[in-house]
Amino acid sequence: MNIQVGQKAPDFSLFDTERKKVGLSDFRGKNVLILFYPMAFSSTCTRELCEVRDDIARYNNANAQVLGISVDSVFTLKRYKEEQGYNFPLLSDFNKEVSAAYDSLYENWILEMKGVSKRSAFVIDGEGVVQYAELVETKDAVPDFEAINNCLSGLN
């Protein structure tokens, strides 16, 4: 499924680093920035998520909840979150279902790894409609945060 702007976002429920279920529908009435990323502790993923961490006030001011999603286990994500001081939930898509639903799953990635989340970004409005969708295909690139922030500004 190719996620398009204007469509209803696929709902999901995943475990966070505290082993609590978090679902997209938990945030109705609020904007949501979903960031899929390949792997915890990798350099580009860390740079991307640290950029969001350091700019979290912008997202809070835009009535936006940030959710980071990867196929890492909740145990790996807990350590990653603690070490990096991330101030938003990291969710484990260990079974790869949500990444697949958002067309954000590599069949084959580096070092013959299969089923790793593609770096991508989605802004979902308070009604659950996709307002921004970006798949990042370049290995060391991160989402276009300027475009994401412009989208969020336009929603408020």
Domain containing residue 37: 32-138
Could you give the angle at which helices 43-54 and 74-84 cross, rounded to 10 degrees? 60
pLDDT tens digits, 29-43: 999 999 999 999 999
Residue 1 placed within a domain = no
Domain tally, the chain: 1
Indicate which CATH number applies to the domain containing 49. 3.40.30.10
Residue 38 falls within a domain, yes or no? yes
Question: Residue 14 domain-assigned?
Answer: no
- 82 conformational bin, left if phi > 0, alpha if psi -120 to 50, beta if neither: alpha
Give residue 17's pLDDT: 97
Q: What global pTM score does this model have?
A: 0.94
**Assigned domain for 23 exists:** no
Question: In which band, very low, low, confident or very high, does the pLDDT at 55 lie, cut at 50, 70 and 90?
Answer: very high
Residue 15: inside a domain, yes or no? no
pLDDT of 1 > 80? The answer is: no
At 111, the pLDDT band (50, 70, 90 cuts) reads low
- CA 53 from chain centre, in angstroms, equals 13
Q: Is 151 a catalytic residue?
A: no
Q: Evaluate whether residue 43 is within a structural domain.
A: yes
- Whole-number pLDDT of residue 147: 97
The answer to the question of residue 12 being in a domain is no
Residue of 22, 24, 35, 45 with catalytic role? 45
- Position 5 in a domain: no
Q: Which amino acid is at 110?
A: I
